[in-house]
Structure 1
């Protein structure tokens, strides 16, 4: 792989083009990253890949590739390595939650074979974040605020004492899962018992009201735990999706989440969901990836992908950007793609 070179000439740095692969380019955050890098200030060639030809990122990037599903691990890995060789890829940004596990398992091999750096956390971080019981356990053991949490059915004998201490309503949800699938807000013991009686790998958790709002907080971490950016959005949800958000002076929330991200030894993007209780941030979910609100953050001047490329690939000194008070509103845009462009992918 070609080496990035920086030459000093009349006090100006001339930097070789950076080639970046964005996977899962049809996801909400994958697409936002593609658009931001294509239209951004970096001398960056963006290559997108996806399993589906009807995903917009393939057509907005400088070039695109179809890849097998990550579940077909051998074919998927061969294709990723082939793309890295063909396009001289320097960095890989993971835009699909389905690809997190295979990239974690193969990031060292990919780097050895191609020289490409994968912006992804360690397997230990992924395991803690993906399992909501382990998330609560990590927060408790490290002195952070967390909702009181009980495993079900492993700790069912502790349920009476838990209910007496925490009181209703309570939240029941799968230990592993995304969004609100399998989640229930329960207001009585009879409701709770009926709901969880045939469930396994669940948690029962203290309900934190959203009277003070719900926040999604993004932190980007470089090598040696360096904080590259952090931003807190007070969000308005519609069907589980952030459709609008407010940025104000939430520095105390950002600073708190930076501490959590550094303590967990994050590397790359990490997203924390929280509500306030007695003015303290109670984190109830940590996602070890870019967030669906990545596009909103970019619009507000916090481009986590660009900051990671600058710091981790170009070796530039990065100062976390300051964010002004503002509101951001999400609106979808429709694109028309000529069928001959789509056939480039469907016929291959």
Structure 2
């Protein structure tokens, strides 16, 4: 039986080399990035794929041509800007599976204000989130962040609403594109969620964040029951096939998601280190218990300097 070919976008990200180490014996892996030079040197050149930026009009046609040329079976998007165009064009990629949520779920949760409104509408706990112009309705300090964005870019804790003009000037943002969010201080979790093609919740893997610098630097698996229960209730309210990530704070036994990311996160490598395989699980139809990792796998990222001669 031929091994499946799997391509990850955002291949220059922190998790790529670990994914290859963990899955090299399971899948034929490819890593795509608009900056192909950012892909880890441990990944063979034959597995590195240059693609356009998502904003380029040629992005979707090029991605379709690429998956057909390489005979890719599963495409795993990992960059926010790519999610909507890939989700909207998923039928054109067939028979290649685009392993992400459908376009409506992606659009809703890429907009952080809409995303938080949906949580409140379902009666789920979430930080109070308002337009930046209404920031004075929140207790200070509060969090200012773009309505869309990733990697903590433009996210800042403002001590008072008087700091808003300086924040906007420093980041070059228009006020209407920024939200203010209640600041929840607690233990941060980044939670991997897998749902099969029929909409059955197959896996919840809570990862406790220990050190974060834009991306998670150190973390450990922690199957906290409050976190798992929250994801189950979120899924019951908004069931969707695919894989996604929930970022939340746990404070006084209550979960407060501050972002729902409709893609894999950089801690995906820690999840697959547990032995869980969301690609194999997506097409399963058998009844079995939802996967929750029990061993406390840990992650610690360090720098490695690749020095060469041109």
Class of the TM-score when normalised by the shorter of the 2 chains? 0.7 to 0.9
CA distance in 2, matches of 1:182, 1:125: 23
Aligned pairs for 1:51-130 within 5 A: 51-54=34-37, 55-56=39-40, 59-60=43-44, 63-74=47-58, 76-111=59-94, 115-130=95-110
Alpha-carbon spacing, 1:262–1:110, altered in 2? closer, same or farther (3 Å)? farther
Which residue of structure 2 aligns with residue 172 of structure 1? 144
- Write the deviation string for residues 40-80 of structure 1: whole angstroms up to 9, x where unpaired: xx3x3223333333212783486443323333233x33333
Alpha-carbon spacing, 1:63–1:140, altered in 2? closer, same or farther (3 Å)? same
Which residue of structure 2 aligns with residue 20 of structure 1? 6
Consecutive unaligned residues in structure 1, runs of 5 or more: 1-14, 344-348
Aligned Cα root-mean-square deviation (Å): 3.1
2:299 corresponds, among 316, 329, 334, to 329
**Contact 1:34 1:48 (8 Å CA) reproduced:** no
Q: Which deviates further from its counterpart, 131-140 or 261-270? A: 261-270
Shift in Å, 1:264: 2.6
Which residue of structure 2 aligns with residue 5 of structure 1? none
Q: Secondary structure, in 3 states, of the residue corresponding to 2:148?
A: coil
**Contact 2:80 2:150 (8 Å CA) reproduced:** no
1:260 corresponds, among 214, 221, 234, to 234
Q: TM-score, normalised by structure 2?
A: 0.84
Q: TM-score, normalised by structure 1?
A: 0.76
Consecutive unaligned residues in structure 2, runs of 5 or more: none
CA distance in 1, matches of 2:308, 2:167: 49
1:287 corresponds, among 261, 269, 282, to 261
**Contact 1:21 1:49 (8 Å CA) reproduced:** yes
CA distance in 2, matches of 1:68, 1:136: 31
Which residue of structure 2 aligns with residue 132 of structure 1? 112
Q: Secondary structure, in 3 states, of the residue corresponding to 1:311?
A: helix
Q: Structure 1 segments of 4 or more deviating over 6 A?
A: 314-318
